[in-house]
Structure 1
Amino acid sequence: MKPATAFKVLTAEQMVVLEAGSFDGAAVDLADGYIHLSTFDQLTETVDKHFAGQDALHVAEVDLDALGEAVKWEPSRGGQLFPHLYGPLPLEVVVAYGPLHRDNAGQVQRPVAG
């Protein structure tokens, strides 16, 4: 069963853009033609692999149902299915967002503010 929400990791500058209403994607998203999202189970590995050493990161939790057909589940890292958003990410489908925090075991936590 696919989760109802997915997560987008954003730099502080990208978070400002999203908070203004809509985010069209990071450079890698624009190059690939879709916005990369991760499930909660994939989130820590995504941050560790693609954002290592970066500070001031934010996490946005996205309502996948609200995005409808714009979300496609496609194989990526290790054959895992990842949610890919074909189109902009509107702020109104973000159910929570905030600074990236980890627990004592190093796992990225869900955002709690919105």
Structure 2
Amino acid sequence: MTAVTAFKVLTAGQMAALETGSFDGAPVDLADGYIHLSTFEQLTETVDKHFAGQDDLHVAEVDLDALGEAVKWEPSRGGQLFPHVYGPLPLNVVVAYGPLHRDDAGQVRRPVTG
């Protein structure tokens, strides 16, 4: 059975914090009370809307099943359901991560390392 995953876009500093074992959230996450994630289908729009013009970004692919009840699917942009994590994001639920790369069509690629 394939795990249900979602994605967190991180700055280099945030990625370094996650690599130490756990990530409590970006400033927007801390202000909202949960960690914002996106499905793969939502990822490129999230990057384009919230990270435009930023360099040195990273993407972490998160196993939502491993987070259990900490994950809530809630409506956000355009009424779409987004996965939100209520609590810290531990490194052991990250199945892949790496620098943000786009394909030839401009879509954000899945991370391939972990």
Q: State whether TM-score is above 0.5.
A: yes
Per the alignment, residue 92 of structure 1 pairs with 92
**Shift of the alpha carbon at 1:52?**
0.1
Normalised TM-score (structure 2): 0.97
Per the alignment, residue 61 of structure 1 pairs with 61
5+ long unaligned stretches in structure 1: none
**Shift of the alpha carbon at 1:101?**
0.2
| Alignment deviations for residues 38-77 of structure 1 (CA, whole Å, 9 cap, x no partner) | 0000000000000000000000000000000000000000
**Shift of the alpha carbon at 1:37?**
0.2
Per the alignment, residue 36 of structure 1 pairs with 36
The list of structure 1 runs, each at least 4 consecutive aligned residues, that deviate by more than 6 angstroms after superposition, is: none
**Shift of the alpha carbon at 1:15?**
0.2
5+ long unaligned stretches in structure 2: none
Percent identity for Structure 1 against Structure 2: 88
Two-structure CA RMSD over aligned residues (Å) = 0.7
Distance 1:22 1:50 in 2: 22
**Shift of the alpha carbon at 1:21?**
0.3
| Alignment deviations for residues 86-114 of structure 1 (CA, whole Å, 9 cap, x no partner) | 00000000000000000000000000000
Normalised TM-score (structure 1): 0.97
**Shift of the alpha carbon at 1:33?**
0.2
Per the alignment, residue 22 of structure 1 pairs with 22
